[in-house]
């Protein structure tokens, strides 16, 4: 669906890339759920779409999407469906779906009302302080688990906005865990990868996620999770409280005590999710809503859009070297601000002029039109030495116009690899999102600035950026992505393609992505960009950019909604599969 927002003066020529992708998308027959037809080269299955006129659910996992749609059909609203999808993903997408992690939910209660952010980011245990860890040694251990926020976050959203009883919403996840479900190729790969990487010391991970016959998982196999089914049953009957103060809390603390972990009963009992005011970015005739600190996503987007306006980005050919260059140079500058200033708002103070128009104008005009600015030159005052996955996003709207944009995470794939013994779920390794060594900023991207150093009870800085775009008080676009720091740029590129460059959502999701995060001083481009536009890469190199290639960036399951016609389009990114289904 093309979200027509305004008339672009003299609609610019489209690059070869855009036309090529456009063909891929136009070939799509948008019936109920139809895979986009293969385009030339390697564009096959870049998106899967569903069209409807009521609700819509788009997530990384087909059984989770179907469970969410069943809730909508049972007269649940978007928040009810979000609770179900989030809990189902704990079962069907264990590398990121979680009750042992945290995240951010952008929620638009109803047309005409303002969106809110339900923030359920993990916190550092009270015993954590800056010198407690050597991250290299502890990446996969219970020592780097933050206090999980997911269940209190879901509970907060449900208690304020939900309609169906809590136990009804947990039931599909229990069923999926108890009866098992057929795994797809994506999940088989994800499970086989972690089982190969994790040594025998991660015995509980092997017991819970290993194939009973000890062989590799294949698409079509059935995964049963009886421990998790019991845990979820407790959560259905006792409510999320059991996780924080009851039997499940006891299981978590027992694991901590047996493995030199930091989290205590008090840390769990004291965890609170927050309702926060989203960052609101007025942009032409729409408003973009994104999470505030402790996510860096909202502020980064709030810097990017005015800079792009100042640079008249929309007048550059989409996908042209100058357009990519301007986007990248903006990313570079915004990520430096992120490194310098951003952290938990209860601990760090932002420069008051961060978003001032004059400051952003100056930033915009510090960009050379045809030369890369070396990242080090932007921060002469900082001492810079040389030196995965997984998260998941889902988008939901209901027939009344309520919308949920939710990103949540275990940080890396399968988090800490620590499965709480007997409880069947993983703990996050989110403590890795803090800046680890005070003062140590490296060309490889480690940041040592003060605002995001570890402190007891502090929330680690996140890049999760679930976004809602509203026009005239109605949600018209829901998007977000996994991908660590690339999240912000994936979301920015999708928004820019739709809002500035006028591309249809399918094309915005399908087209190749790129990322710059200040340090390392390089553009990371998707391999499809290199395969289809080698001359663009050459042009960027001539401007002084260092370009490296990655397989894929992000996984942006999104929804476009046209309030006037009632048409809703779900677009499931196929970088990690994913499934869109209409109510």
**Nearest distance, CB of residue 269 and ligand DON, angstroms:** 24
Say how far apart CA 161 and CA 133 lie, in whole Å: 39
Per the annotation, the verdict on 349 as an active-site residue is no
Site membership for ligand DON, residue 484 (CB under 6 A) = yes
**Nearest distance, CB of residue 137 and ligand DON, angstroms:** 19
**Nearest distance, CB of residue 390 and ligand DON, angstroms:** 5
Say how far apart CA 436 and CA 440 lie, in whole Å: 8
Select from 493, 157, 150, 433 the least CA-distant residue to 296: 433
Site membership for ligand DON, residue 482 (CB under 6 A) = yes
Q: Please identify which residue in 323, 375, 435, 464 interacts with ligand DON, judged by CB under 6 A.
A: 464
Judged by CB under 6 A, the stretch of 376-384, 418-426, 483-491, 532-540 that binds ligand DON is 483-491
Which residue in 28, 33, 84, 391 is the catalytic one? 391
Q: Are 419 and 195 in contact (CB under 8 A)?
A: no
Q: Work out the angle between the directed axes of helices 62-73 and 166-179 (0-180°, nearest 10).
A: 150
The helix/strand/coil state of 151 is: helix
- In angstroms, the first-to-last Cα distance of the chain is 18
**Nearest distance, CB of residue 142 and ligand DON, angstroms:** 17
Distance of CA 509 to the CA centre of its chain: 14
Q: Please identify which residue in 409, 441, 528, 533 interacts with ligand DON, judged by CB under 6 A.
A: 409
Q: Please identify which residue in 483, 512, 570, 578 interacts with ligand DON, judged by CB under 6 A.
A: 483
x-marked contacts with ligand DON along 422-441 as a string, rule CB under 6 A: --------x--x--------
Say how far apart CA 538 and CA 541 lie, in whole Å: 5
Site membership for ligand DON, residue 532 (CB under 6 A) = no
**Nearest distance, CB of residue 261 and ligand DON, angstroms:** 19
Burial class (CB in 10 A: 0-12, 13-18, 19+), 386: exposed
Site membership for ligand DON, residue 98 (CB under 6 A) = no
Task: List phi, psi (to 5°) of 6.
Answer: -165, 170
DSSP type of residue 123: B
The helix/strand/coil state of 419 is: strand
Judged by CB under 6 A, the stretch of 184-192, 271-279, 358-366, 462-470 that binds ligand DON is 462-470
**Nearest distance, CB of residue 101 and ligand DON, angstroms:** 8
231/390 with CB nearer ligand DON: 390
Site membership for ligand DON, residue 119 (CB under 6 A) = no
18/462 with CB nearer ligand DON: 462
Site membership for ligand DON, residue 487 (CB under 6 A) = yes
Q: Where are the alpha helices (DSSP H) in 321-446?
A: 321-341, 357-365, 375-378
x-marked contacts with ligand DON along 342-381 as a string, rule CB under 6 A: ----------------------------------------
* Residue 349 neighbours by CB under 8 Å, 6+ apart: none
14/453 with CB nearer ligand DON: 453
The helix/strand/coil state of 455 is: coil
Q: Are 393 and 488 in contact (CB under 8 A)?
A: no
Q: Are 252 and 263 in contact (CB under 8 A)?
A: yes
Longest dimension (CA), the chain: 66
Judged by CB under 6 A, the stretch of 263-271, 395-403, 460-468, 570-578 that binds ligand DON is 460-468
Q: Please identify which residue in 18, 320, 391, 441 interacts with ligand DON, judged by CB under 6 A.
A: 391
Sign of CA pseudo-dihedral 90, 94, 100, 102? negative
Tokens of 367: 């960009």
**Nearest distance, CB of residue 293 and ligand DON, angstroms:** 12
Q: Are 140 and 417 in contact (CB under 8 A)?
A: yes
| Site size toward ligand DON, by CB under 6 A | 14
Site membership for ligand DON, residue 411 (CB under 6 A) = yes
- Binding residues for ligand DON (CB under 6 A): 389-391, 409, 411, 430, 433, 462-464, 482-484, 487
Give catalytic residue positions.
391
């Amino acid at each position: 669906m093309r979200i027509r927002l305004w008339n672009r003066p003299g609609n610019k020529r489209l690059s070869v890339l855009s036309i090529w992708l456009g063909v891929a998308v136009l070939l799509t027959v948008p019936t109920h759920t139809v895979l986009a037809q293969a385009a030339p080269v390697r564009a096959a299955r870049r998106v899967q779409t569903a069209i409807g006129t009521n609700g819509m659910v788009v997530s990384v996992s087909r059984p989770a999407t179907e469970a969410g749609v069943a809730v909508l059909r049972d007269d649940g609203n978007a928040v009810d469906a979000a609770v179900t999808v989030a809990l189902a993903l704990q079962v069907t997408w264990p590398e990121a779906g979680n009750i042992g992690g945290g995240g951010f939910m952008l929620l638009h209660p109803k047309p005409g009302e303002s969106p809110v952010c339900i923030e359920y980011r993990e916190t550092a245990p009270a015993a954590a302080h800056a010198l407690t860890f050597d991250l290299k040694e502890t990446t996969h251990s219970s020592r780097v688990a933050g206090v999980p926020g997911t269940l209190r976050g879901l509970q907060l959203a449900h208690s304020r906005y939900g309609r169906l009883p809590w136990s009804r919403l947990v039931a599909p996840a229990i069923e999926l865990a108890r009866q098992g479900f057929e795994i797809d190729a994506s999940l088989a790969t994800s499970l086989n990868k972690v089982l190969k990487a994790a040594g025998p010391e991660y015995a509980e991970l092997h017991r819970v996620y290993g194939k009973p016959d000890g062989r590799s998982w294949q698409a079509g196999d059935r995964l049963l999770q009886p421990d998790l089914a019991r845990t979820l049953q407790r959560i259905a009957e006792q409510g999320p409280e059991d996780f924080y103060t009851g039997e499940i809390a006891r299981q978590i603390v027992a694991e901590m005590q047996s493995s030199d972990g930091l989290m205590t009963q008090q840390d769990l009992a004291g965890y609170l999710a927050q309702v926060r005011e989203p960052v609101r970015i007025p942009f032409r005739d729409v408003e973009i809503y994104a999470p505030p600190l402790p996510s860096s996503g909202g502020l980064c987007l709030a810097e990017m859009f005015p800079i792009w306006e100042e640079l008249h980005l929309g007048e550059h050919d989409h996908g042209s070297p100058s357009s990519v260059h301007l986007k990248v140079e903006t990313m570079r500058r915004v990520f430096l601000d992120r490194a310098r200033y951003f952290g938990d708002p209860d601990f760090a103070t932002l420069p008051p002029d961060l978003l001032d128009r004059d400051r952003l104008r100056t930033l915009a005009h510090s960009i050379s039109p045809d030369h890369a600015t070396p990242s080090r030159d932007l921060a002469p005052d900082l001492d810079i030495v040389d030196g995965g996955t997984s998260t998941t996003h889902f988008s939901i709207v209901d027939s009344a116009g309520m919308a949920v944009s939710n990103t949540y995470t275990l940080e890396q794939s399968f988090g800490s690899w620590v499965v709480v013994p007997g409880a069947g779920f993983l703990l996050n390794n989110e403590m890795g999102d803090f800046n680890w060594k005070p003062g140590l900023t490296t060309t490889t991207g480690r940041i040592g600035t003060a605002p995001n150093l570890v402190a007891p009870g502090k929330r680690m800085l996140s890049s999760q950026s679930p976004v809602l775009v509203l026009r005239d008080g109605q949600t018209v676009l829901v998007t977000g992505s996994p991908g660590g720091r690339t999240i912000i740029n994936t979301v920015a590129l999708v928004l820019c393609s739709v809002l500035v460059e006028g591309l249809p959502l399918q094309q915005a999701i399908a087209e190749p992505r790129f990322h710059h995060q200040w340090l390392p001083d390089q553009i990371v481009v998707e391999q499809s960009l290199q395969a289809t536009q080698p001359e663009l890469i050459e042009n960027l190199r001539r401007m002084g950019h260092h370009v490296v290639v990655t397989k894929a960036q992000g996984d942006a399951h999104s929804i476009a909604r046209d309030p006037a016609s009632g048409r809703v389009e779900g677009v499931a990114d196929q970088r990690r599969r994913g499934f869109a289904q209409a109510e």
